[in-house]
Amino acid sequence: MTQQTGTIIAEFSMSRYVGTFCLWRLLMKVLKFLSALMFSAILMAPFFSASAASSSVPPIRQQSNPELQHMLEQRIASLHLNGAVRNKRLSIALVDMTDPSNPELAQVNGDEMMYAASLPKIAVLLTAFELIKQGKLPLNRETRDTMTRMIRYSSNKDATAMIDMVGKDYINTVMESPKYRLYDPKYNGGLWVGKEYAGGTAYHRDPLHNLSHGATAMQVARFYYMMQTGQLVSPRYSAEMKGIMADSGINHKFVKGLDAMHNPDIRMYRKSGTWRTYHADSALIEHNGRRYIAVALADDARGGIWMTKLIRAMDNIIMAEPHASYVTAHAGVSPVAGGPEPSSSSVHLM
């Protein structure tokens, strides 16, 4: 064999080797992509399987009530807050769900996404219960107490611990899932957690508004509506979440406005938030046979005072006239309200 022939054979062998190596790399990339796709499918499976459950109750976006809307706008005007509404520094959602099968909605700037401070901790709570249902997180005393301190006392330390426990990225996966759509680009966003409640920088700001902790009044109202109608995870775990959200340990904004800590006629399930000029409050309120959801987000140093006044106005609206839904609601009981109220006597280490 001549030297030239040997060279040709060597070059041919090398080209075959290079071709095989390139093909191998291509196959590895395809396998990596398919593995990522399968992993995403596994993560999303719990949400697709239960997405049909929401069809049993009407979406509150379709339940706008002109009379309730007019009354809310009148009260906003009487509180001299029209300017804040026009400038999109105030957003409000009010849902009368005394009859959960026929909710009535009023809102202003309901889909205006704002920085919401600690209010989006409810997204962490929901994510934790999704993992509890999947058997990936234990519902023991330690976990329950951590979640309770996070919600009732707005503990940043416990919120950060829960974020680490459930997985930073998984929270927004749950919010964007077809089952909930509590963050939905179609409606300008919603609940978002992209930063721990501690020092440091955000790990994932929301893609629409670049917020680290965000919410819209409508998406928060939807959270409470789904909780009350047993659609958050399951009726059992919706009731568990409702119990954790009872007995707020912070007496300001909505709680202060209705004196909810001292009024035995009022039960409030609530989460608020405050940071600099940003104020947020949200609650499911049960008052003398009526049940309603109130949400307010504000960007103003006076926001806390606004909310104290707004909740009185919203409570007066709901309590003012006997609605037809008040009679209807007593013919049946909603999934969460029908069960025994979770005990509020749990020991809290704080």
* pLDDT score recorded for residue 38: 45
Q: Tell which wins on pLDDT, 154 or 99.
A: 154
The domain spans of the chain are 50-329
Sheet with 114-115, edge to edge strand ranges = 114-115, 213-215, 192-193
Return the axis-axis angle of helices 217-228 and 121-133, rounded to nearest 10°: 40
350 pLDDT band, cuts 50/70/90, is: very low
**Could you give the 3-state DSSP secondary structure of residue 94?**
strand
Q: What is the DSSP letter of 229?
A: T
CA–CA separation, 101 and 129 (whole Å): 25
Q: What is the largest CA-CA distance in the chain?
A: 106
Given a contact cutoff of 8 angstroms between Cβ atoms, the answer to whether 197 and 118 are in contact is: yes
Two tokens, residue 302: 């006076």
DSSP string, 98-155: SSTTS-EEEEESTT--EE-TTTTHHHHHHHHHHHHHTTSS---HHHHHHHHHHHHS--
* 159-183 confidence digits (pLDDT tens): 999 999 999 999 999 999 999 999 9
Rounded CA-CA distance 182/190 in Å is 6
Angle at 171 between CA 170 and CA 173, to 5 degrees: 60
Kind and range of the H or E run holding 234: none
Q: Name the percent of the chain lying above pLDDT 90.
A: 74
* Whole-structure pTM value: 0.80
Architecture of the domain whose range is 50-329:
3-Layer(aba) Sandwich (3.40)
Mean pLDDT of 300-304: 99
| Residues 76-114: tens digit of each pLDDT | 999 999 999 999 999 999 999 999 889 999 999 999 999
pLDDT in tens, 25-69: 555 554 554 444 443 443 444 443 444 444 568 999 999 999 999
